Structure 1
């Protein structure tokens, strides 16, 4: 979700409370299109991150500093000259637009107070940071926009700053029922969810959908389809949301599915709560945004770092699948061997009845109640030579069956191993997890083992299984890869501990430390839910889980790590859940 006007309003309230009256101590540009202001206020230091990156415009307070380039860009140098020690005198939002104005004052070379302003525009691909003087004339901007790029507005030094009329929508902070209806009527050609966001500034598509959900109105309907009482109800719901914005009654929330952030908002969204997403409340909008983008960035970073390994494993898996299909076909062909043995036996028995030069012979098949069986013949061979040819073919197919059967078993095991590694890559949360998976692939010669620099010992991999505590106080451990699964099952778990695994699919070994006690039903359900989530079936509604005591789980000789067999187990259906 992009930052909408309501989120910006919550941020402005927080920035006023935290930064108003503070002095700018440091100005840096850690990244292209990114500005980091260090501000001291009330004996505390704050860092304001502003990004006008088209894909990810941002504005929030963060604790961590970021390294800056050795040579500061020109825009940073200009800001240092004009507001390097300036005092923040005003922070305001333009209506409910996604535009924040930060005003500063500083003494110029003549000793006069020189007001300056930073306009932070957080509007997707049009995002920008624009620096103006006291007359609202642009001194410079993070991204210069000439007339050849935009016909709405030039953003160049010396041009006046203004918001183009085409970007301005109806301000929802000052609405009556009549103006509300008129604004929606102007967008009557659109579905209501799109009409609300198109007609009013600061209302995102998600916020519009939530308002309609609360009003029990179909978002696909048009404004002209509404009955008068529905229009009144829609305005009342809309006005109740805007009233909270006017009064600054924000409740920053993030919605999470399976430990991954899905959406965030400055006000709770009933629509997402109804979908069953987990809710995390935050004290400030900055904390929420920092947490949201950190989690998203971490997930994206892990997928990027594991991309090469996933591609390699996927290629090996596809090769293994093709090999299995070919071997299964060879094995099916070898099942014809008995037919050739019967042909040979019958020819040897009835050789005296076969006419010379015949290309076939019908014999009574004493293996099948003397039913007649036609045997193809090579007319250039004697009956004995034809019989020998069939026996040779039988022997060859028998050898093929034995060899292919053994190779097929290895191929099926390899396919299962590679599938389990792919699942482990999906479960990896730390770089150490990827290092352990790479070590496993190297052990099976799928990749070359990385050599340590000469004279240095190989660095020991520190990766640990996930640890949970059940509602009844029992420790639950979840392996994230085959090495961890092996260690949990055969080193950490004792014989009386309970072992859980998704049935018939790659997944984590889940161990519940029983400590000699009997587990309550709730603990079984929680462990099964974790086993379902940390498996290949994590996206299914329900997953069948096998569970039994660890003493009944056996290691498969010669199999990859984490591969086990068991027989005396119970099963239950569980809904995948990433946390207890």
Structure 2
């Protein structure tokens, strides 16, 4: 199910129940197209997420942690100016469309009461969040400003009159049950899928899955009016469910019979947190790490091109011995060689059965021709050592940037600042004087994530190269246990124990496998060893270590275990 008009209706009911009459305490914009407004209601704080993300636009209460940028955006500052301390009067929906409005009551600069409305339009890549004056519908600001060059129907700029999105000529089933039309469609289309497509054309806010559910409901026995009321009641009293159909995970407001139900939740918001946790985080990471991804991919591309050139050079130097042999044969039969000859065929004493043809320069002496072959031999011999060393360095660079891309893929947005710092230190970000400025401010590396095993032992996981280096080489006791997935890019994991039990070892190995490129694999080999057996080679890139004396465990990573160990840690934290 998508976040369609019917789902929006159910979400509006949930938000009104939990947030109505609540007061705004915080407003943050942690990501480019997303706002989080913390509302204090009924003795609790509710972080309300308004997302205009092109792929995952939605409105929900969220408990997924986030980190704020160092400097708030202009739109965030505008929201704080108008909404800090405001009371949420109600949440409303435009007809049965995916347009959700938060109606706030606050006081203006003169102390008079005024209504400010914050509108979220959920429309894929056209999604937007708009702040308007509730009295005259004037646009105060929008998270995505839209000028006349982008939309001729309406503009969304400060001072413009807010115009609702274009309305489709369809029926709002919450206001008009259209019994005759639905009965006619039900009789005309006995196939549920065909009926679903036709229902979408006549009724507002129906995604295909919602329409299919309505079609299946209509095909059941009973009066049409009762079946419509039953369908509508699902959205007034939802039972949020994660489902699976054709190997595709989806979210619904009800455990529909034509799906395999996976997990049920108490609220729609909890369900959306579960569903979007990885998807939305990857999208946010991609948005914020776009420059880092671009740099890593460009360096990786350059490294692969260089690898081909170096291999070509190495292949050319394989003939070095041939130049030596020709030089020695020329010196042996120097008396037979005359100045001005362009080539000569001489006996090959390295191969008694065949003679060898040797090309000559007619402008130099026979002795100089022999010396020319010896010089070429020495040059190629020296080149072999140099090229092999360059290949080793280049392969390390390829491995490094491939590892960086893996880290970004697995990272949360807040983990990117360490990777950005690492790129600055490595001189990969242009227009940055990190190395030139002796008085540069020391940036603190973020802490690794902590987990607690079922037996109460802390396990720490590094999420990037700087965290990994600090965790393994500086902050860990040499007697503690270090883990890493075998021969695959992944996190450094430390068990904060000198002699952990077998269950803790397996759980730590599962974390190492989960926070690696092998996350979606089964039976993943994970090496573990005491920290004292792990060392960093001289001149190695950040995050690169070697180790010995290891043992190996085979585990299959699961998100459920990771969340369980994460919750164990949260429960253990002192308040």
TM-score (norm 2): 0.65
Residue 438 of structure 1 pairs with residue 420 of structure 2: yes
Q: Which residue of 2 aligns with 1:425?
A: 408
* 8 Å CA contact retained: 1:197, 1:208: yes
Alignment match, 2:78: 69
In 1, distance between residues paired with 2:552 and 2:10?
49
Point out where structure 1 has 5 or more consecutive residues left out of the alignment: 77-83, 105-115, 151-155, 216-228, 257-261
Q: How do 1:93-492 and structure 2 match up within 5 A?
A: 124=123, 140=137, 149=153, 166-168=169-171, 179=182, 182-183=185-186, 185=188, 194-195=197-198, 197-198=200-201, 200-207=203-210, 242-243=230-231, 245-246=233-234, 248-252=236-240, 264-268=251-255, 282-285=265-268, 300-354=283-337, 358-368=341-351, 370-429=353-412, 431=414, 433-447=415-429, 448-450=432-434, 458-471=441-454, 473-491=456-474, 492=476
Partner-residue secondary structure (3-state), 1:500: strand
Structure 1 contact 502–535 (Cα < 8 Å) conserved: no
Match of 1:79 in 2: none
Structure 2 portions without partners, runs of 5+: 67-74, 105-114, 155-159, 563-575
With over 3 angstroms needed to count, the CA separation of the structure-2 counterparts of 1:272 and 1:419, relative to structure 1, is: farther
Q: Deviations over 1:278-332 (max 9, x none)?
A: x5x6544456668988987765444333222332333333333333322222222
1:136-193 CA-to-partner distances (Å, cap 9, x unmatched) read xx9758699x9x849xxxxx99x9x999672226679959899467258479898676
Counterpart for residue 259 of structure 1? none
| Alpha-carbon distance between aligned partners in 2 of 1:119 and 1:484, rounded to the nearest angstrom | 40
Contact 2:331 2:370 in 1 (8 A): yes
How far apart are residue 430 of structure 1 and its match? 5.1
- Note if contact 1:187-1:195 (Cα within 8 Å) is conserved in structure 2: no
Structure 1 residue 577, shift from structure 2 partner: 4.2
Residue 9 of structure 1 deviates from its aligned partner by 3.6
Q: 2:544 is matched with which residue? A: 563
Question: For the residues of structure 2 that align with 1:129 and 1:439, how far apart are their CA atoms?
Answer: 34
Q: Distance in 1 between matches of 2:44 and 2:528?
A: 56
* CA distance in structure 2 between the aligned counterparts of 1:500 and 1:85, rounded to whole angstroms: 50
Displacement of 1:452: 12
User: Deviation per CA, 1:492-535, whole angstroms, max 9, x where unpaired?
Assistant: 154462422241x4322233445314524x843x4444333423
Query: How many Å separate the matches in 1 of 2:266 and 2:298?
Result: 47
Deviations along 1:442-482, whole A, 9 cap, x unmatched? 3333343559999x982541411122334555433221122
2-structure distance, mates of 1:10, 1:363: 94
Find the residue that maps to 1:446 and give its secondary structure.
Answer: coil
TM-score by length of 1: 0.65
Greater Rg by CA: 1
2:8 equivalent in structure 1:
8
Shift in CA distance, 192/572, structure 1 to aligned 2, threshold 3 Å: farther
Q: Is the 8 A contact 2:239 2:265 kept in 1?
A: yes
Conserved? CA contact 1:501–1:545, under 8 Å: yes
For residue 512 of structure 2, the aligned residue among 531, 534, 555 is 531
Paired positions, count? 514
Using the alignment, how far apart are the partners of 1:232 and 1:169 within structure 2? Answer: 22
Number of the residue aligned with 1:519? 502
Contact kept, 8 Å, 1:30 with 1:69, in 2: the verdict is no
Q: Cα offset for 1:412?
A: 2.1
